[in-house]
């Protein structure tokens, strides 16, 4: 069977290629984020987009795609949700954009977030997930008077120096699984900050318990995604989040949930609701604004007390601007629709199980891990429970070939195995059917290329 991608992609995306060459003249690397460049999987060049509507997106060459990238997660309500868009436009027309002072819409938005999330009693709005995580980590140090932060391999908590460590790390540099070494993930991160971090293997009960017995009184906070969504999709083993909660409480350390991706996506109350584990602090972005740029840090009143009395400065000119708060308020209203998450999780599960079945029917070893509205199809030779398993077990090249065959058939998601497919709350059965039909054809290509059926 012929290889579709190599022949079809250049023909289908001529204007994207031309725009990429033009962009490189004035934009470093040709894109506004390193995550959109060829070195991050978008080969031979990224698609340039024209517009998105609902669950579909169209590139500058006129190709339409069922969109499971969704801006890397923010498009929880699809593209250009009319309710949220109208609320933002109306707020700008009636109020303005940014005052540098509080206003009532900010209260309204915060009240709705607090009402949605169990255990969150107060919230401050910010501008990016990285910013919110950096604030949460520093606030934990300020609150506890301690300096050590515990984080886990394979999890990405943004680009700030304090947490930009041990993400997709070279295991030769990281050392043994029971006590990994912190490894800075980018140039310019001061090596001295490694002494403020303890890195562990995720889903390893024994190493975490041992650390807390030995050094619990030195630890300011443990930060984790409640489900790892920055190395594909890796779910917590039963009891693991509960262990993190109980051990941090015993040690007087804080537990921080990075819900930049899981927040408002897996349930209206995020991981708090879905897993029933309540951390001290939680960071949000992506889904909280229905596609608009907004982030937040939330927590109990006790966890937020230093912000509340001004002892800790959480500042930002654009914090809680009108666009953000209008988007959050409208999004929270839409997410309150009865049965919405149950319906869309079931839709996502139909897609996920369908993809797994098609792969297996073609003799391809692949399986799905997910939470309904976000999942990954692992091309793997065994179970993936942490970053080290992902390195050892996955066949990344096969996944990328699958992406290539899907994108020329009108289905878009991230080309790398260690990302995810996002299902919005507006995808429908037609989207799922179109995707499964494309998968049936693309898996036949993979089976032929990789020596299976």
Q: What is the CATH number of domain 82-335?
A: 3.40.640.10
pLDDT of residue 2: 54
For residue 54, the 8-state DSSP code is B
- List, by residue number, the catalytic residues: 156, 258, 286
Q: Report the side by side order of strands in the sheet with 219-224.
A: 122-126, 295-299, 281-284, 254-258, 219-224, 148-152, 197-200
CB-count burial class (<10 Å; 0-12, 13-18, 19+) for 373 = buried
* Tens-place pLDDT, residues 284-318: 999 999 999 999 999 999 999 999 999 999 999 99
pLDDT of residue 4: 78
What phi and psi values does residue 411 have, to the nearest 5 degrees?
Answer: -130, 125
**What's the whole-model pTM score?**
0.96
DSSP H helices, 70-219, are 82-94, 104-116, 129-144, 171-174, 205-215
* Tens-place pLDDT, residues 231-290: 999 999 999 999 999 999 999 999 999 999 999 999 999 999 999 999 999 999 999 999
pLDDT of residue 1: 43
Cα separation, 102 vs 82, in Å, equals 26
**Residue 66's closest CA among 440, 441, 375, 439?**
439
* Tens-place pLDDT, residues 442-453: 999 999 999 765
As a residue count, the chain comes to 453
Q: Which residues, 6 or more positions from 237, have their beta carbon under 8 angstroms from its beta carbon?
A: 203, 205, 385
Average pLDDT of adjacent 10-residue blocks, the chain of 453 residues = 78 97 97 94 97 98 98 96 98 96 97 98 97 97 98 96 94 93 95 96 97 97 97 97 98 98 97 98 97 97 97 94 98 98 97 98 96 97 95 96 98 97 98 98 95 63
Cα separation, 380 vs 367, in Å, equals 8
SS3 382: coil
- Would you kindly state where each structural domain of the chain is located, as residue ranges? 4-80+339-449, 82-335
The CATH fold of domain 4-80+339-449? 3.90.1150
What phi and psi values does residue 116 have, to the nearest 5 degrees?
Answer: -85, -30
Cα separation, 125 vs 316, in Å, equals 9
pLDDT of residue 57: 98
According to DSSP, the β-strands at 281-284 and 254-258 are: parallel
CB–CB of 131/284 below 8 Å? no
């Amino acid at each position: 069977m012929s290889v579709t991608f190599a022949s079809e992609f250049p023909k289908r995306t001529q204007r994207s290629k031309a725009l990429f060459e033009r962009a490189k003249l004035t934009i470093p690397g040709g894109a506004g984020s390193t995550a959109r460049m060829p070195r991050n999987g978008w080969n031979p060049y990224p698609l340039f987009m024209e517009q998105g509507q609902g669950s579909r997106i169209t590139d500058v060459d006129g190709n339409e795609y069922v969109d499971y990238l969704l801006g890397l997660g923010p498009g929880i309500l699809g593209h250009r949700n009319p309710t949220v868009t109208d609320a933002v436009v109306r707020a700008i027309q009636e109020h303005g954009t940014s005052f540098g002072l509080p206003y009532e819409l900010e209260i309204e938005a915060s009240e709705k977030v607090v009402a949605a999330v169990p255990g969150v009693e107060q919230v401050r709005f910010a501008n990016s997930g990285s910013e919110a995580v950096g604030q949460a980590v520093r606030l934990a140090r300020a609150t506890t008077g301690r300096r050590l932060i515990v984080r886990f391999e394979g999890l990405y908590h943004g680009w700030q120096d304090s947490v930009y460590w041990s993400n997709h790390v070279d295991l030769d540099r990281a050392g043994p699984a029971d006590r990994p070494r912190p490894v800075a993930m980018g140039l310019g991160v001061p090596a001295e900050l490694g002494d403020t971090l303890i890195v562990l293997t995720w889903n390893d009960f024994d190493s975490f318990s041992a650390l807390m017995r030995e050094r619990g009184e030195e630890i300011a906070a443990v930060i984790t995604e409640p489900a790892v969504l920055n190395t594909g999709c890796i779910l917590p083993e039963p009891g693991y989040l509960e262990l993190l909660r109980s051990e941090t409480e015993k040690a007087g350390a804080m537990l921080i949930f990075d819900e930049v991706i899981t927040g408002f996506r897996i349930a209206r109350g995020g991981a708090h609701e879905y897993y029933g584990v309540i951390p001290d602090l939680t960071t949000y972005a992506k889904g909280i604004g229905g596609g608009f740029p907004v982030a937040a840090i939330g927590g109990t009143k006790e966890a937020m007390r230093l912000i509340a009395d001004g002892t800790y400065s959480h500042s930002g000119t654009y914090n809680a601007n009108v666009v953000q708060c209008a988007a959050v308020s409208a999004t929270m209203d839409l997410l309150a629709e009865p049965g919405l998450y149950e319906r869309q999780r079931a839709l996502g599960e139909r897609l996920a199980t369908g993809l797994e079945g098609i792969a297996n029917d073609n003799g391809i070893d692949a399986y799905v891990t997910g939470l309904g509205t976000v999942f990954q199809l692992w091309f793997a030779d065994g179970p993936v429970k942490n970053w080290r398993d992902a390195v050892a077990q996955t066949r990344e090249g096969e996944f990328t070939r699958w992406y290539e065959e899907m994108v020329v058939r009108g289905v878009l998601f991230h080309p790398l195995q260690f990302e995810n497919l996002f299902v919005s709350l507006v995808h429908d059965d037609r989207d799922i059917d179109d995707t499964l039909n494309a998968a049936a054809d693309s898996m036949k290509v993979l089976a032929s290329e990789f020596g299976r059926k």
